[in-house]
Amino acid sequence: MMKARKQTRSINLGGIQVGAGAPISIQSMCTTRTADIEATVGQVRRLAAAGCEIIRVSVLDKDDAEALSEIKKLGCLPLVADIHFDYRLALTSIAQGIDCLRINPGNIGDKDRIKAVVEAAAEKGIPIRIGVNGGSLEDSIVEKYGTASPEGMLESAMRHVRILEDLDFHDIKVSLKASDPLTTIEANRLFSNQSDIPLHLGVTEAGPLVSGAVRSSAALAILLSEGIGDTLRISLSADPVEEVRAARTLLSSLGLRKAGVRVVSCPTCGRCQVSNMFEIAERVEARLAGISADLTVAVMGCAVNGPGEARDADIAAVCGKNSGLIYVLGKKVKTVPQDEIEDALLEKVQELIKT
């Protein structure tokens, strides 16, 4: 059973509401060098087309910071600047018109420097994300707890929160991420029990595409089912578009978001008589990825489970020997050769969307 969402406070991130029961937003992070405006904007647009709603970029130096206004103007997504250590980069990023700042206030300098950043963010209405990672906890936390424990991550997060709240800044969201899913789960539970600050969920350094998506989903599904979490990123060592696809699939599977076209496909077995079933399913999913309609499309490999899935799907292909039966709303409408299955499915999707 899914528990009701925890009622956190609301922040506005470039027009996207985070917290207070708003839809859980999907985030990713550019892998480009931020100063390369053309490459970064291109990736932002690809991510937006895939369903990303908030994008983060690294700001390593002055060139990166000074590129932000142009990226913001051309990139079409709310922009988060990720900064460590140098408060001047935070000030420049704010002046460039970013929508959110990702810093840990305790590592950008003395109180006067922190105050300067907080005052600049407050003046522009820019929220701050505090990001606690299990692999980069303060030395004092590591000495106290001996490892990246949930309790240590909580203490680190609350320490940074107090710095901001002591400066009367409350437009905050927090992330507590470890590479271990169980540590991530418990750290977020502890924080959620103590605070109404919105939570950004994720498993850091989760891994390559398959293992990373599984590890991330194992943690995030549990937290989301408990009503914890307001926005998320599935971090993968892969094209960031895959992060967005994984996040959309996770939220859709839990009934938390409608994530466009859902492709159902069989794992195949010895009954399958189509030579490249896997490739057909993958290409169909890729071609439908940019369509926002709430549809289920089934690609099935034989007549055992195929008719049942075709009956339940909006559009389906039930493959036979070198051919496929096309179904629309549970009714068989045509038979096509194997090399026409993909185009036939796409044609029927477009027809159904227009009706």
pLDDT computed for residue 219 by the predictor = 97
Best CA proximity match to 293, nearest among 314, 265, 316: 314
Instruction: Tell me the two tokens of residue 108.
Output: 């950008």
Q: Which residues does residue 17 pair with via DSSP β-bridges, in sequence order?
A: 12
pLDDT computed for residue 124 by the predictor = 95
Question: 200-258 pLDDT, tens per residue?
Answer: 999 988 889 999 999 999 999 999 999 999 999 999 999 999 999 899 989 988 989 87
pLDDT computed for residue 305 by the predictor = 67
Q: How far, CA to CA in Å, does 269 sit from each of 7, 84, 278, 337?
A: 46, 51, 11, 21
b/e for 61-82, b at 16 or more Cβ within 10 A? eeebbbbbbebbeebebbbbbb
Half-sphere exposure of 59 (CA within 13 A, CB side): 31
What fold does the segment set 11-253 form as a domain?
A: TIM Barrel (3.20.20)
Instruction: Tell me the two tokens of residue 143.
Output: 């000495």
Q: Which residues does residue 323 pair with via DSSP β-bridges, in sequence order?
A: 320, 337
Q: Which residues of the chain have pLDDT under 50?
A: none
pLDDT computed for residue 322 by the predictor = 77
**Sequence ranges of the domains in the chain:** 11-253, 262-354
Instruction: Tell me the two tokens of residue 326.
Output: 């096309």
Instruction: Tell me the two tokens of residue 47.
Output: 């991510």
pLDDT computed for residue 88 by the predictor = 94
Question: 139-166 pLDDT, tens per residue?
Answer: 888 889 888 899 999 999 999 999 999 9
Look at residue 272 and give its three-state secondary structure: coil
DSSP H helices, 109-176, are 111-124, 139-145, 150-166
pLDDT computed for residue 340 by the predictor = 87
pLDDT computed for residue 287 by the predictor = 81
Pick the CATH number of 262-354 from 3.30.413.10, 3.40.50.720, 2.60.40.10, 1.10.3300.10: 3.30.413.10
